[in-house]
Amino acid sequence: MTGLSPSGDIKPLLDDESQRPRVITPFPSPKLTDLSMFQGEHKESSYWGTYRPQVYFGVRARTPKSLVAGLMWLVMKDGKPVMRHFCENSNDLKSFGWKEHNGRDFGRQELFEQDMVLETSFVKSEEGSLGYGGDWSIRINVQNMLNDDEVKRSTHLFFYLADEGCNGVNLGKDVLRLKESSVLASGSRQDVGNWQMHLKSQNHLETHYCGFKTPDIVNLSGLVQQNLTAQEEKSGLLQLSDSSEDSSNIYVFQISTTNQSTIDIAFVSGIKEETSNMENRIMSLTGLPLSSLLEEKHIAFNAKFNECFNLSDKLDPEILVVGKAAIGNMLGGIGYFYGQSKIHFPKSPLAKSEDDFLLYWPAELYTAVPSRPRFPRGFLWDEGFHQLLIWRWDVHITLEIVGNWLDLMNIDGWIPREQVLGAEALSKIPKQYVVQFPSNGNPPTLLLVIRDLINGIRTEKFNEADRDKILSFLDRAFVRLDAWFKWFNTSQIGKEKGSYYWHGRDNITNRELNPQSLSSGLDDYPRASHPNEDERHVDLRCWMYLAADCMNSIQEFMGKNDILVTEDYSSIAKLLSDFTLLNQMHYDKDHGAYLDFGNHTEEVRLVWKEVIHEDGHLSRELVRETYGKPELRLVPHIGYVSFFPFMFRIIPADSSILDKQLDLISNGNIVWSDYGLLSLAKTSSLYMKYNSEHQAPYWRGAIWMNMNYMILSSLHHYSTVDGPYNSKARTIYEELRSNLIRNVVRNYDQTGIIWEHYDQTKGTGEGARVFTGWSALILLIMSEEYPLF
């Protein structure tokens, strides 16, 4: 089979060697995650972790069929018991999040319930451990918030263990008669050998249990509630049945208390029959030794925070709390996923089908996530922003995560932009977003990180060992980065030399006011009203400049000039930084702004109409109507896209256009506010307009941290270089930075949450809760750490 490539060349749809479609054929080069730096001691030390960001608290190993632990608890809602398990994006739970996390072996989280506070801590210990990955412990502190004169109510916690490989789990002998210490469960696995889970508490606890044999962990809370309901109908008591199915691979332990309680749960593995120090191992992971270990990790976290971000002398204590929550939640949100992506692949040219997809190869992904309750999965363009923060904390984590993403590249150099791997990830995403389209890209933000690392080596920010690891990584990554660039430079190229446009916009829709550009990452940001191949997107042109310039830097820095590469990066970077050509293609003198180009009319509306469906029934729906004839022109919408040449510092420091950009940024009638820069100008015809009946405005006014960070970064740059406008840039920089910090801290003080975006008129947090994610870039704004170009 053959097809036309985006460049017009004949391209086989099947990989000759395997006769499988190219779109699901892995890129043929050694995997980055196979590098020695990610093996041996490193691999074992990072084996266990809080790698389940989608649940309120969970532990797993970085292996496809892991032993999994988690915590649930009961709350009353409308007079009925409801189980908390998977993170929800609602205000039922006042707030939750990691106050501290080091990304490796320690984290402390607080969850504020209506009438109690839960504190969950996780810590690993290699001392005395014999099993692969070491021993680890969980501490659960329960603080009842009811007043003393109120009736005490029981708190019902449900701690569970599940073997994803369906290996049998053995129930402990004394789980119903817990005193100070008891074995909850035990078992044996190939990876860690014989293991035991112990519970220890000085408080009075009532315990019950139930066991299930099922591979389905996603619906575990439902199974537990069914068990509770059945028991309540029998006995009138809200307690588990104290029974289990044969060969259960999941055990759930109900732990009930009415007091302020501290519960320690310790996992030990590699147990030998002749082991005589078992009691010592358990004691070192519970009680006072655990308290000492957690305090030691807490002190180390604070010391490293000060070392990495140097904020202690700069900012007020309440600001530092937000900074620590930003990095803690970012690191605590790192997850491990395993599964197969669904890739769009039409089975027939005549009709669409729900089965028009192929499965990618089975793959694992170690990655940060944007938001635990709303987006607990990997997003390609988000990850570059995540790593701008993470590498400053732990460059080894960054290298491994970037390597995981680049290993997902197919033979054509394409990486699926959204990773939905495994049943738990699949359970948290609307069906329409699961299938990935191989024609669609996502901004190559990973190159922002790679450029940062190269500049970090040049400025001697790394010790010799870390420097060597980065160089080794780049040496192997280069061929994949080269293929990735080529994919963009062929599949997203425009008609004019030096032009690009995001593919994937719907050119036949009659339901969207302005067809979305999901691949750009800016979703409903206004583009040309009538998508076609004449479009030119200024943001993608600038991303391509960054990519070409970064690749050229790697090539020069690594001495890669003697190997075969597919592109002349120096020439491409020179073309895309050509200021005259950029202005010819995208600059509008009347607005003093950079704009997209395409087939556009402003005369488009959503109107209510009666629609006749195929089955004959009528419905009243919002339908797009065009009243004016579209024409090829610059698209008159000022917003984040307009500032990409400014963000990527293509504008010369002495250009009068820079002065006009500074005027646009600081104009309170356009994008400036007391809380940050708006995503779309107040003067735009689509400012805060719904895109369809059910698509609320998203990038049409709201304040987003990633774009504010990029603009702030360039304000800082232009304030430090020689030129007639550096003083003006400095003034705007200082005010914008102050506005962003003040608003995020104010919202955090009020809600305990860092938000996805912030309201354009009031500055209140909106969208996904616990979005730490790129909103955590507020920490780099506090510390004034910006990427270099």
CB 208 within 8 A of CB 254: yes
Q: Does residue 488 sit in helix, strand or coil? A: helix
What sign for the dihedral angle of Cα 666, 667, 671, 676? positive
Residue 539 to residue 482: CA distance in whole angstroms: 21
Single-letter code of the amino acid located at 302: N
CB 390 within 8 A of CB 368: yes
CB 656 within 8 A of CB 587: no
Other beta carbons less than 10 A from residue 686's beta carbon: 22
Residue 152 to residue 147: CA distance in whole angstroms: 9
Degrees to nearest 5, angle at CA 330 with 328 and 336: 115
Q: Does residue 255 sit in helix, strand or coil? A: strand
Other beta carbons less than 10 A from residue 743's beta carbon: 23
Q: Does residue 775 sit in helix, strand or coil? A: helix
How do strand 357-359 and strand 342-344 relate by DSSP bridges? Answer: antiparallel
Write out the two tokens for 126: 């290699």
CB 162 within 8 A of CB 67: yes
Helices (H) and strands (E) in the chain, counts: 18, 32
Write out the two tokens for 744: 């995020």
Residue 471: what are its φ and ψ, rounded to 5°? -65, -40
Write out the two tokens for 459: 């400025």
Half-sphere CA count of 77, side-chain side, radius 13 A: 11
Q: What are the beta bridge partners of residue 97?
A: 110
Cα→Cα distances 673→109, 697, 751, Å: 33, 18, 21
DSSP 135-187: EEEEEEEEEE-S-TTSPP--EEEEEEEEETT----EEPTTTTS-SSEEEEEEE
267: Cβ contacts below 8 Å, ≥ 6 apart: 69, 135, 136, 137, 195, 196, 197, 198
Half-sphere CA count of 449, side-chain side, radius 13 A: 32
Residue 74: what are its φ and ψ, rounded to 5°? -95, 140
Residue 726 to residue 734: CA distance in whole angstroms: 12
SS3 for 636-661, per residue? CCCEHHHHHHHHCCCCCCCCHHHHHH
Active-site residue list: 523, 756
Residue 592 burial class via C-beta count within 10 angstroms: exposed 0-12, middle 13-18, buried 19 and up: middle
Which regions of 627-763 does DSSP assign to beta strands (E)?
631-634, 757-758
Residue 120 to residue 229: CA distance in whole angstroms: 27
Write out the two tokens for 316: 């007020």
Residue 138 to residue 107: CA distance in whole angstroms: 10
Write the DSSP symbol of residue 195: E
Residue 673 to residue 697: CA distance in whole angstroms: 18
Closest CA to 164 of 424, 429, 427, 496: 424
Residue 476 to residue 36: CA distance in whole angstroms: 12
Cα→Cα distances 705→383, 385, 683, 713, Å: 14, 10, 21, 12
Residue bearing tokens 């938001």: 371
Write out the two tokens for 575: 């073309």
CB 102 within 8 A of CB 301: yes
